Amino acid sequence: MIPRLLGVYINRQFLINVRHILRSFVAAIQTSYDFVAMSNPKSETVSESSVSEPPPTQPSVPISYPIKTLEELESRSYFDSFHYPFNRASVPILNGGSSSLPQRRRLLVCHDMAGGYLDDKWIQGGTNPDAYAIWHWHLIDVFVYFSHSLVTLPPPSWTNTAHRHGVKVLGTFITEWDEGRTACNTLLSTKETAHMYAERLAELAADLGFDGWLINMEVNLDPGQIPNLIEFVDHLSLTMHSSVPGSLVLWYDSVTVEGKLNWQDQLNEHNKPFFDICDGIFVNYTWKEDYPRLSAAVANERKFDVYMGIDVFGRNTYGGGQWNVDVALDLLRKNDVSAAIFAPGWVYETKQAPDFETAQNSWWGQVEKSWGAPRNFPGPLPFYTNFDQGRGYHISVDGDNVSDSTWCNISCQGLQPQLMLVDPSNSIQVSVDLKEASYSGGGNIKFKGSLEEKIYFERKIFQVGFLLSELPVHFIYTVKSDSNSSLGLKLEFTSTGDGRRASMLLASRAVNHFSDKFSKVIMTRERKGFSSGWVINEGVVAMSGYTLTEIHAVCYRSDSNDNDGTVASPSDYFALLGHITIKTVDYKSDFPLSSSWLVDGTCIKWTSDPLGSKTLDVKISWKLKHENSYLFLKFNVYLVKLSKQAGGNPVTTLEDVKEYLGVAQVSCFYVSDLKVPSDTSTLKFIIQVCSVDGTIQELDESPYYELEVEGP
């Protein structure tokens, strides 16, 4: 009863006022702390995220960070930072050939977590295997990275993985509190300043590779400033559209055309002038039951551009958010408007039981059950996935384990399988697993349970939409399994002419006892991988005039006992699916010769210790000597340490000892605090080029950079 009564009197404005007081209090404490810290240089900082100074322009471990003042934005100082080239997203958005959002209700997800820039700020990867990630991209159309800094620039890791799944990414421009009002006084002082700052924002989005902005003016304004605010939003929209086709500028339901900070919770005459000059409105999340219908009526033919907010934390949001998020989604679906889910990291931040992965799948499963999954995977062939979630406990390359370190790097996330909620009644449980062996990256799909003879089990893992031409299509997938467990792929096709359906099974063993369940069975060619236990399966499919619509995994029994020698009971089943590649038979992974690259080392810094060992910092950059059409989105970086012989020449017998340093999504990599033993004469950094179909260049044929170790 008491919480309900409090809910009547505690509105968002009250909470903001309280937050303003707390913020001032914290600022006072921080000021006192800073004074103590300055007088005691050995004291530790409160947290890395509390650092208010902009990152140094001097070389350091690359990070993502926001722009906090209009002065920084106007001066373009961001582009002078050492970190800037590392912050450029490298993956173009895969959207099936269309740059526009589909004409249907859409799902926007606004990521707001503890101020942002946490594990995801480490561009080259962090060490936390339990870092937050999203892997239900097939439900999402737009992703917004949000923080309370003036200009929130999405870390490239989010842009890369969202684009890989066909999802647009927006940054946030926000003005809050007294400093926000001061910024608005400058921003909106003239039509020219409004245009200039809009152009600065558009330049950042275009150069860093993301798709637009959420504009949140959360301050009271003078009515006389509104014309220039209109100019700012309009010019930003026009400039974004011309510089980034398919880009979006969204208005947040905050300040009205009268200049008042007064959340409307709907689209109406007080905020529609902003809606009319941009690509949509993010409606504040305290709306009432009939507001979606009223907003749709006001928007008319643009009703899908109305994104009704839902706060997952449940702060006065319709339906209460949290595990009742479907209440709001059901109503929005009924009114056929779009939804904006705010702070889905609630599952992670509040440590929902029993664990993050299970709770995350359950929560998003609830979203899918209510909202539906209207999106297939985008883009043309080749299709490649290694089921990596962008975090884990080891890293593999073509079945070879190259690192046992814990890690996180959302940029590495592969196309994610569309696994529905776990049904405990199933004889075989299916899950993305980060701890079992992986073929590539740090993940796999694990199939574990029991399976009787002459019975097969199938599970849909991808909803796709690949129209096949006259050229046959090459399927490659890797499996690691117990001795009597086999795994194949079921392919669902639909004829583009008459809508006929066909199903095809790719299998490595005879399946006579259930082959009649499929239109056709194709036996794959098996070859052992370089690493023990992994088997590479290859099959060729010719289905001209058909569209591949679904991919299922099929678990069945095999009569052979030659997989890995594991002894299992007759009914036990265990198999790992390591990767899937689909490409036309004429597709070739064409890698430039090593001599085609220019590789250089800069920002070299040596530090010596009394025992003769050294520590190295160096930025390694590479580019092709001549312009061409090659598209490489990923590079593995290795190190070889060459020791001295008695005569002073480097020993070449250590060439096989290749140390994996990490992965680069751009054409540069920063090596920091590298320990160099005293007997090392030369460091050889190898840049292994990775193709979009998952194939990699041989290390011996890859470009490299050699650095002589500095003498005493």
Neighbours of 211 (CB within 10 A): 27
Convert the pLDDT of each residue in 120-131 to its tens digit.
Answer: 999 999 999 999
Residue reference for tokens 């006072």: 28
If asked whether residues 344 and 468 sit together in one domain, one would say no
- Whole-Å CA distances, 472 to 2, 96, 462, 542, 543: 67, 20, 20, 4, 7
Number of domains forming the structure of the chain: 3
Task: Give phi and psi for 704, each to the nearest 5.
Answer: -150, 165
**Sign, CA torsion 264/270/276/278:** negative
Q: How far apart are CA 702 and CA 696, in angstroms?
A: 9
Choose one of 332, 347, 371: the last residue of a domain: 371
Q: Is residue 128 part of a domain?
A: no
The lowest-confidence range among 30-44, 302-316, 533-547, 668-682 is: 30-44
Average pLDDT over residues 231-240: 98
Q: How far is CA 191 from the centre of its chain?
A: 37
Residue reference for tokens 């173009």: 92
Convert the pLDDT of each residue in 647-672 to its tens digit.
Answer: 555 554 445 689 999 999 999 999 99
Convert the pLDDT of each residue in 599-609 to its tens digit.
Answer: 999 999 999 98
- Identify the top-confidence range among 46-60, 189-203, 605-619, 647-661: 189-203
Task: Give phi and psi for 335, each to the nearest 5.
Answer: -90, 0
When pLDDT is cut at 50, 70 and 90, the band that residue 276 belongs to is very high
Inter-residue contact 119 to 128 (CB < 8 Å):
yes
* CB within 8 Å of 163: residues ≥ 6 apart: 89, 91, 92, 93, 94, 169, 209
Residue-level pLDDT at 7:
42
Choose one of 346, 371, 396: the last residue of a domain: 371
If asked whether residues 426 and 555 sit together in one domain, one would say yes
Average pLDDT over residues 88-106: 86
Indicate yes or no: pTM above 0.85: yes
Q: Is residue 18 part of a domain?
A: no
Q: Is residue 495 part of a domain?
A: yes
**Residue 92 preceded by cis peptide, ω within 30:** no
Residue-level pLDDT at 203:
98
If asked whether residues 530 and 658 sit together in one domain, one would say no
Beta strand 151-152 pairing with 168-176? antiparallel
If asked whether residues 361 and 389 sit together in one domain, one would say no
- Per-residue pLDDT at 534 exceeds 80: yes
- Per-residue pLDDT at 5 exceeds 50: no
Inter-residue contact 385 to 580 (CB < 8 Å):
yes
If asked whether residues 310 and 417 sit together in one domain, one would say no
Identity of residue 158: W
Q: Is residue 626 part of a domain?
A: yes
If asked whether residues 520 and 623 sit together in one domain, one would say no
- Per-residue pLDDT at 2 exceeds 50: no
Q: Is residue 507 part of a domain?
A: yes
- Whole-Å CA distances, 274 to 173, 237, 654: 15, 11, 64
Residue-level pLDDT at 712:
65
Q: What range defines the domain where residue 410 resides?
A: 383-559+569-584
Residue-level pLDDT at 425:
83
Q: Is residue 420 part of a domain?
A: yes
Q: What is the DSSP string of 420-461?
A: ----TTSSEEEEEESSS--SSBT-EEEEEEE--TT--EEEEE
Residue-level pLDDT at 470:
85
If asked whether residues 282 and 242 sit together in one domain, one would say yes
Residue 207: which CATH number? 3.20.20.80
Convert the pLDDT of each residue in 317-350 to its tens digit.
Answer: 999 999 999 999 999 999 999 999 999 999 999 9
C-alpha closest to that of 561 among 485, 461, 616, 458:
485
- Per-residue pLDDT at 6 exceeds 80: no
The answer for 363, left when phi > 0, alpha when psi is -120 to 50, beta otherwise, is: alpha
Q: How far apart are CA 226 and CA 368, in angstroms?
A: 40
* CB within 8 Å of 182: residues ≥ 6 apart: none
* Number of continuous H segments (helices) and E segments (strands) in the chain: 12, 32
Task: Give phi and psi for 32, each to the nearest 5.
Answer: -65, -40
Convert the pLDDT of each residue in 505-517 to its tens digit.
Answer: 999 988 888 899 9
If asked whether residues 516 and 409 sit together in one domain, one would say yes
Q: Is residue 686 part of a domain?
A: yes
Q: Is residue 361 part of a domain?
A: yes
- Per-residue pLDDT at 55 exceeds 90: no
If asked whether residues 284 and 187 sit together in one domain, one would say yes
If asked whether residues 82 and 170 sit together in one domain, one would say yes
C-alpha closest to that of 632 among 669, 666, 588:
666
Inter-residue contact 476 to 538 (CB < 8 Å):
yes
If asked whether residues 359 and 415 sit together in one domain, one would say no
Q: How far apart are CA 204 and CA 154, in angstroms?
A: 11
Average pLDDT over residues 672-689: 94
Residue-level pLDDT at 612:
76
Q: How far apart are CA 635 and CA 662, in angstroms?
A: 9
Q: What is the DSSP string of 180-242?
A: HHHHHHHHTSSHHHHHHHHHHHHHHHHHHT--EEEEEEES---GGGHHHHHHHHHHHHHHHHH
Residue 610: which CATH number? 2.60.40.10
* Structure-model confidence comparison of residues 169 and 4, the more confident one: 169
If asked whether residues 197 and 287 sit together in one domain, one would say yes
Residue-level pLDDT at 651:
53
Residue-level pLDDT at 10:
46
- Per-residue pLDDT at 109 exceeds 90: yes
- Per-residue pLDDT at 634 exceeds 60: yes
Residues in the chain: 712
Inter-residue contact 520 to 593 (CB < 8 Å):
no
Q: What is the DSSP letter of 151?
A: E
C-alpha closest to that of 142 among 307, 286, 263:
307
